[in-house]
Amino acid sequence: MSNKFKQLGLSDQILEVLEEIGFETPTPIQEQAIPLLLGNNPTDFIGLAQTGTGKTAAFGLPLLDLVDATQPHTQALIMAPTRELGQQIAQQLVAFSKNNRDLRVEVVYGGSSISAQIRALKKGVQVVVATPGRLLDLIRRKAIHLDRVEYVILDEADEMLNMGFKEDIDAILEHAGDMPAIWLFSATMPSAIRKIVKKYMEAPLEVVVNTEEISNKDITHQYVVTKVANKLMALRRFLDIMPEMRGVLFCRTKRETEQIAKELGDIGYNVAALNGDMSQGQRDQVMKQFKRRSMQLLIATDVAARGIDVKDLTHVIHHTLPDQIEYYTHRSGRTGRAGNKGISLVFINPREKRKITELERRNKISFEQVQIPSHEQMLSSRINHWADLIINTKVHEQAHLILQELHGQFTHLTKEELLKRLISTQLDHLLLQDGSQEDLNEMLGGKRSEQGKRSGANRDSALDGGGSNRYFINIGTIDGVTRADLLHFISDVSGVDRKFIGNISLQKNCAYFDMDNTHDRGLGNKFRGMRIEGRKIRVNLDTDPKKPKRGKARPRPGLPESGNRKRKGKKGRKKRKG
């Protein structure tokens, strides 16, 4: 087997490991950087390449060959902007050096026990990977000494400066030994990086990879145009029609990540937030779930997502475009790696087309506008997914006994009639979840598409356009009902078509719902005389001063069936994601 790494000057010890783990063909940054670093030792070096191009191996492999494992003192220092990236760098270095048992690598970062890190450093560590803040803390405690450091590597240098580590980096380099070799790796070269180069580096060798081609050849760049208020609903439709999607959604603020994760999680989507306010344990748990593929979408800020390296991401989604053009490249570069195809999907409002044009010009890429899936596409996809779940569900051992207890309630229904009722129930559940049947696409410039106008008009005529009234009903979650159950109940008792009932807010002891004001005449009277376990059911306008009395928790009898108001109904079905 031909291994092109053999041509780069690496030791046999390293090459054996690379062959074992399947590294055969170096990436462009590896192919150019490794021979320069090995053949010009010591040298200052600048490597410009995007995220996901193999920079860790580009500096890690030559570094492991240059470090003297027989000497226990710290010889190499690698600084990274985030603990996640630091952990990944350390893991790769440990894997690359597995045939050199005398070489020790330690990673230190905030959010973890500093006492344990100090104990590890005292044992003798040749290579230290660190975040700037924690490293400076260790220096001040005299737990680490950099006077004999020969190599300082700044990984993702532009990101460290963006995160405000400029002063920390200056302080750390002042503590470093006499003229260590500095290797700087970055995706971009802003003026702040140039200042570091001028101050600390001498005649550095430089490698610049064709970043646009490497970052974007396997990525399809897309955008949709929708109102800001419709972004979450639009996202849900994409998640619904692409159940195999596995991606990262980027938000600007920590608050956005938490709010979106909560709203999606509350209705059954497998998502989680990742932001700087989370503890290290919480972050590790989220990343563990995401890497195990038990989560469809990770919702993160730019800072929190730095250093995350997850394979086979199908999508990167931009809830809001970043202020800095460079951040788009950082974000989108997390998909379309290692020969896999990926999609970078941007949500813009009707007046943001200029941002797409600027991204195309600056990054030499092309965007295609795509349509948000329609309401009908969403329903079809979810129903098919729900059907697959039913088909593949293992029959519970108690199902037969429960079926017998139903005393043949379904025997008068044909198989087709029963399936239609099941599908209807599921459709109502999905309609309540989606909250809108309209076309969510907008035209650039703030105008609605013709399809959107027609769809919106239909919806308005059904509920919004003619006006609606808000109603109170003294039935809540304590009665064991779901929103779909309540929708059926209100429609059956009132005789009003379900499409004229909207926005059901189900609470513990009561619920509120909207009804088209052309169909709600005498609504409260239609529920008069109805009882559940002796308790009168009351429906009145929300403006009515009557309020539900607070008292002991009620039993959960479920809703009475229409046509037989005194009969106890079936117990409320557990809400499940279709």
pLDDT digits (tens, 9 = 90+) for 310-351: 778 899 999 998 877 777 877 888 888 766 789 999 999 988
Report the topology of domain 4-209: Rossmann fold (3.40.50)
Report how far residue 377's alpha carbon sits from residue 440's, in angstroms, rounded to the nearest whole number. 13
CATH number of 466-578: 3.30.70.330
Q: What is the pLDDT of residues 369-405, one digit of tens each?
A: 999 988 788 777 777 777 777 888 888 888 888 888 8
Residue 3 has pLDDT above 80, yes or no: no
Mean pLDDT over 183-187 rounds to 91
- pLDDT tier, 573 (very low <50, low <70, confident <90, very high otherwise): very low
Q: Do domains 4-209 and 466-578 have the same CATH topology?
A: no
- Is residue 316 a contact partner of residue 344, using CB atoms and an 8 Å limit? yes
CA-to-CA dists, residue 236 to 183, 332, 377, 397, 470, angstroms:
44, 20, 12, 35, 26
pTM of the model: 0.55
3-class secondary-structure state, position 46: strand
Residue 159 has pLDDT above 60, yes or no: yes
Burial tier of 86 (Cβ tally within 10 Å: 0-12, 13-18, 19+): buried
pLDDT of residue 341: 86
> Is the pLDDT higher at 448 or at 101?
101
> Is the pLDDT higher at 401 or at 578?
401
Question: In terms of DSSP bridges, do strands 535-536 and 205-208 run parallel, antiparallel, or are they unpaired?
Answer: unpaired
pLDDT of residue 125: 95
pLDDT of residue 244: 83
Residue 302 has pLDDT above 90, yes or no: no
Average pLDDT in the chain: 82
Report how far residue 453's alpha carbon sits from residue 459's, in angstroms, rounded to the nearest whole number. 10
φ, ψ of residue 486 in degrees (nearest 5): -65, -40
CA-to-CA dists, residue 352 to 58, 153, 237, 321, 443, angstroms:
38, 39, 22, 10, 11
Helices (H) and strands (E) in the chain, counts: 22, 20
pLDDT of residue 439: 79
pLDDT of residue 441: 83
Q: What is the pLDDT of residues 495-541, one digit of tens each?
A: 888 878 888 888 888 899 989 888 899 999 999 888 876 788 999 99
**What's the gap between Cα 285 and its chain centre?**
14
* Domain boundary assignment for the chain: 4-209, 216-246+312-461, 466-578
